[in-house]
Structure 1
Amino acid sequence: MPEFPNEIDFLSLFEYEPTLLDTSEDYPFYYNEATYRFTNGEEDFVVKLCPSYGEVEIQVTKSDSKRLLSLLEFKQVENFKIIADKKDHSNVLLMVINEETQQMIEIEFKPYFKLIFKEHLTR
């Protein structure tokens, strides 16, 4: 079962309310699809999460030109960790574990977008 932060942690990290696919109040966040739209002033982000499926999609565009900088789509995120959640600095670590490899993706949202991708052999 994928490990993701709870709804309050994501609200603190992204500083915006998500748009939920299922808006009924008795539908748990973990089983829903949440889309967060936010900016750091330089880049605009659209982060779509489906915690129960381990799915994460992150789209980053340049704020002034709307030019696409990055599009990440992960279908098997095993662990989503918030590394830093401060007013001027935030980043997360995603872990994807396959049969022979472990991928670690560190994404910084503030002050600027940065992506670090590392893959390790597990055998």
Structure 2
Amino acid sequence: MYEFPSEIDFLSLFECDPTLLDVTKDFPFYYNQATYRFSNGKEDFIVNLSPSYGEVKIQVIRSDSNRLLSLLDLKSVKKFEIIADKKDHSSVLIINKNEDIEQVVEIQFKPQFKQIFKEQLIR
């Protein structure tokens, strides 16, 4: 099973309501696909989450030129962790483990976008 924060945690982090793929009221958030659209004033973000599949897609677009800055499309995220959720600073860790390798992506949304990717052996 994949580890993702709750729907409430994502509402707080992204400061917006998601667009859900299945709008059935009885359909749990964990088994749905949620799309969040928000901005930090400099960059616009589109975050697609499918927790039950471990899928995370994050697009970052420069607000003033509409130019794509980053596209992260992951299909097997083991853990999505919120490390900062404040009015002026927000960031997450996305962790994936495959056999002997652990991949960690740190993404900062506020005050401005920053992405750090690390890979290490975990024998």
> Do Structure 1 and Structure 2 share a fold, with TM-score over 0.5?
yes
Q: Partners of 2:69 and 2:100 in 1: how far apart? A: 29
What does residue 47 of structure 2 align with?
Answer: 47
Q: Partners of 2:98 and 2:53 in 1: how far apart? A: 15
Deviation per residue, 1:36-95 (Å, 9 max, x gap) = 000000000000000001000000000000000000000010000000000000000000
Q: Partners of 1:98 and 1:67 in 2: how far apart? A: 33
Aligned partner letter, 1:74: L
What does residue 113 of structure 1 align with?
Answer: 113
TM-score (norm 1): 0.99
Structure 2 residue 5 is the aligned partner of structure 1 residue 5: yes
Task: Tell me the CA shift for residue 100 of structure 1.
Answer: 2.0
Counting aligned pairs with the same residue, the percent is 68
What does residue 100 of structure 2 align with?
Answer: 100
TM-score (norm 2): 0.99
Count the aligned residue pairs.
123
Q: Partners of 1:2 and 1:94 in 2: how far apart? A: 11
User: Which segments of structure 1 move beyond 2 Å, counting only runs of 4 or more?
Assistant: none
